Structures are given as C-alpha cells and as structure tokens.
Structure 1
Amino acid sequence: MRTTIKAPATIEGIGLHKGKPARVTFLPAEGATGLRFLNPAFASPLPALLNRVSGTARGTNISDGKTTIYTVEHLLSAAAGLGIDDLDIELAGEEPPATDGSALAFAAALVRTGLLQKPGLQRKTLSIADRLEMTNGTTRCTAFPSHGVSFKLTYDYPHPLVGRQVVEFTLTPEEYLANVAPARTFGFSHEIEALKAAGLALGGSLENAIVIGEKEIIAKDGLRFPDEFARHKLLDLIGDLALAGLPLKDIRIEAERPGHASNVNFAKLLSQKAIPNND
C-alpha cells in the first residue's frame, strides 16, 4: 500500500551552498506520483529520478534541463527513511533550507503531519536476485538479497580526529528517525576557502555543519554520535538511492567510502538489475 502525508508542512531557512533564503513545503500527493519537486521555474512537477541528476559535487542536484535545484538528498532521505512513496516537495529558491545540517527537521515535520496510506494503489519495490558490486578506486558498493532492508557503511578518512567509522542499521522509520536523520553535514576547515571560491558552502556555519579542524572538531553542542560522520554518509546514501524511484525491499547494501557520485551510479546499477516486485 502506498503512503503519502496527511497535511502540508513548511520549513524555512538558509540554503547551505547558495546561502540564500530558502523554503520547502511538503504536500500530500494523490495517485502513484512518486517523489516530485515543484518550483515556479518548472513547467510541470520534476520527478526525483536518476535521469534528472545534473550534478553530484558536494551534494546531489537535479534539473529539468533549464533550472537546477541543489542538494536534494536530505529531503529525499527523510521521505525514503520514513517509507513515504508519494510526496510533492515545493521549493521556493534553488535549494532547501539547510536547517541544522541533518535531515531531522524534515523527517520530524513529515511525521508531525501524519502519514496516510492509500488503499488500492499498488506499491512497486526494488529487489535484486543476485549479489551486485561496484568498485571505483577506494570506493566499493555491494548489494545482495536479504530479509528486510539493512545497511553497513564504512567512512574512512586519513585524519587523526576521524579515522575509520562503521555503522550498521536495519532500516525502519523508527530507526531512521532516531539514529540516522539527526546526523549532520560536516566538512574540513582546510576546504572552506576553496568551497566558497567555487560558489559552495556560502550559507555554511556552525548552525548547520560540523567543522573538522587540524586539532579539534567544532560542532554546536558537541557531536550527537561518536560515529556521526558515518551516519551522515548513510543519510546521504539513502537519499541518493531514492532517485531509483522505488523503495528498497529485502536487500542489504554495504558501502565503503561512498560519495554522491558513487551513490548515484550504484542506484543506476540497482535499477538496471532490479527484479519486478509488488507489495
């Protein structure tokens, strides 16, 4: 049975990369529409699908060929993590508000509106019959049939304050809301100047990101989890995989050192190898 939300919910703030005022409104969706973006610049709703991806530099961007919206992964992660199939996401601006750098505000807003099941609408899902693996340099993504949906993610970075972090979760709405959605965006202090010169992180601050310096980690109210960086990478992965357009079913995914580009490419591989499946 497909799921949407019962009522609209709006969040306002500043965009992480463009640094401009941003507003997102979640709207209930009728029919089997999937996840879609609405924007005054779009002639029609823009489906959140892999063939709409226009960039993966420091975030996942999608476009209708004329207008690009940036960093959609946290919005999609919140919807996918909660098991929402159909949702219209109305953006005022080029990107969603950064909130605190996590997906918690989005997920909490969706939960507050209440989820609505849609009887009579068939729910297609994404499953695989055999093991799949994709490797590119030090990045490796693997998937294989399993019971339920689970993830193992390894984040490994040669910095004395980061090192190797490994997280494993079975994906349920409750687990996502408590242990994945709160994990915040992070970056390294030595990258900030170059990012801003490239027109990125213009709205970044300690209100919406963790900064890893040479000798200290600067995070508002401290880290939420000892492995918060790996959890945020998992948050991103869940959002990027949602671009496959189908919820995952009976699959385990293991990712080592993933990024947005590898996430999107792995979603393409999963889509190509998916077997027909209806709930």
Structure 2
Amino acid sequence: MTLDTSPKPKKVSTLGNNQKTLAKAATISGLGLFTGKRVQMTFRPAEENTGIRFQRIDLEDKPILPAQVQYVRGTPRCTVLGKDDVFVQTVEHVLAALSAYEIDNLLIEIDGPEIPICDGSAQPFVDLIEEVGFGYQKTSKKVYHLTSPVFWSQGDVHIVALPSDEFRISYTLNYPNSALLRAQFHTISVNEENFKMEIAPCRTFSLYEETVPLIEQGLIKGGSLENAVIIKGDAILNPEGLRFPDEMVRHKILDLIGDLSLVGCSFFAHVIAIRSGHFSNTAFSKELLNHIMMESS
C-alpha cells in the first residue's frame, strides 16, 4: 500500500493580508433607477469582522441590512436585500466595487430604498473608494479556497465554480434575438486594477422593446440614456456609443461580482457563467455558501 503524503489544498488561508475598511466617510447621491427618487448614500468606516451593511437612515430605528445572500428578497431586474418590510434595492454595482477593492467592513447609510444608479456602471463608486483610500485593520483576512466544483443550472442558464488559485470570472452572454448580443465572452482575474480598467466603466443595458413597456408602466422611473445602454435592433441608441465593443458582457461580469459578494466571505474560485442574471447569480451564491459552510465544518 502506498501512503499519499502529497500536500492537501488549503481550505482557508490569510495570504498575509489584513481586513480593510475605508479611511474616512464619503458621500454620493443620485437617482434610483427604478424608483426615480433622489437618494444620498454615505460610506462609513466600520469595525473589524462587521462585514458590509446597509442602513436605512430615513426609517424609524434606522434598520440595518447585512449584505448577505440570506437577505435577498427578490431579483426584479436588480438585486434586492430585505428583512420584514425594510429593503434596499439595486445593490449589485456598489457591492461589485467594494468586492473588487477587497473592502471587508463598511457601513453604507442610505436615505431611501434604492442605491443611486449614477451612470449605470460601478465607476462612480470606484472613484469614491479611490478618493478616500483604505483603512487597514489589525485582524487577518480569511480567504476560502474552493477544493471541489459547485454547480447550478436551470434551463439554458449555467454557473459552475471550480478550484483555482485566484478569483476569476468567465462569462458567456447570448441573446439569440439580438445581433449585438450574440455570443459575447469575457474572462477576468478579479482584482482592483483589472476591475477598474475592464469592468467598472461598463453600464447596465436593456433592449428597447423591453424597456419602453416598463417605463410606460412606471416600473423604471429613473432610467435614461444617461444611465443605461439601450439597444434597438442592430443599433445603440446612446449618442456616445459603447465604452467597449463588448460592454454588455463586461457589465454582466460586474453584476455577477456584486451578487457573488453576498456569499459574505472572500474566496478563490474560477466562476464560469452562461447567460446568468440576478436570480441565478444569487441562487448560485446560496449554493456556494452552503458548500463553503459544509467544507469548513
């Protein structure tokens, strides 16, 4: 009998890094995409091991919602966190920026029900983070290393996470009925620099045929060509055009990074997604969290 003495992969490491928050408070304001209401949002440095949390300061008792997947209350073209009758919607863009910049602890005060859409990308949040800088903390940052695959599929939507020595996302977008959205693919190692250069500027997008009825029904009250890419047939309606030839698939990666951050811990894995959206992203995040908890127990 041969004894296997080869080293087993680590499930958790610290990588020599400590947790991070922001160096000081910073505020941004704008319209909510769906509500059309002007909201103000403030980042406040938070203590170690408190995670990312949203606080509705416009409500009595100023309730707090942790940015964790168990608080997902819906995915109606965005990701909504909620508890009882308190909710915050469209959290994915700001969470993507915080995740890419490895911010572990932050209190996000908001005086309304929706994160400001700004220009439809994560760039304004990246600018805010870089403006105030980081607050380095004393507690070590734990990173989970996936040691076996995690799968989620429904119809023609598929997501898998594979063991990796980095956090990487590969995404395939395919809208068969749109010439501009057929078979776009992008892959990225998720870190500050790559996110800033390749992903953060990419705006949310929608087909004209889907958008007009939603506006007429009052379901999108803050949308405009200033905060979304609108596609009609083979044309981009935005006068300035696209920021990247494949801006749409890059924005899908942005959304996925934000939704995956709701797992609530840092991890290394290669996440491969085909045609996923907020519902599948958050469903997969629940599967991934369950997997991590079982392997860590």
TM tier relative to shorter chain: over 0.9
> Of 162, 171, 174, which aligns to 1:156?
174
Q: Which runs of 5+ in 2 are unaligned?
A: 1-17
Q: Higher mean Cα deviation, 63-72 or 234-243?
A: 63-72
Aligned to 1:72: 91
Shift, 1:44, TM fit: 3.8
What CA distance in whole angstroms lies between the structure 1 residues aligned with 2:246 and 2:125? 21
> Of 22, 31, 37, which aligns to 1:5?
22
What is the aligned residue count?
275
What CA distance in whole angstroms lies between the structure 2 residues aligned with 1:43 and 1:215? 46
Aligned to 2:55: 38
Provide TM-score, normalisation by structure 1. 0.95
Aligned to 2:7: none
What CA distance in whole angstroms lies between the structure 2 residues aligned with 1:69 and 1:210? 23
Shift, 1:215, TM fit: 3.5
Paired AA for residue 257 in structure 1 = R
Please give the residue correspondences for 1:36-185 in structure 2 after superposition, counting only pairs within 5 Å. Answer: 36-40=53-57, 41=59, 43-119=62-138, 121-158=139-176, 159-185=178-204
2:143 aligned counterpart, secondary structure: coil
Provide TM-score, normalisation by structure 2. 0.89
Paired AA for residue 270 in structure 1 = L
Paired AA for residue 262 in structure 2 = L
2:148 aligned counterpart, secondary structure: coil
Shift, 1:198, TM fit: 4.8
Shift, 1:75, TM fit: 1.1
What CA distance in whole angstroms lies between the structure 1 residues aligned with 2:72 and 2:228? 24
What CA distance in whole angstroms lies between the structure 2 residues aligned with 1:69 and 1:89? 11
Paired AA for residue 227 in structure 2 = N
Over 4 Å off, 4+ runs = none
Contact 1:80/1:242 (<8 A) preserved: yes
2:120 aligned counterpart, secondary structure: coil
| RMSD of aligned alpha carbons | 1.5
What CA distance in whole angstroms lies between the structure 1 residues aligned with 2:106 and 2:39? 19
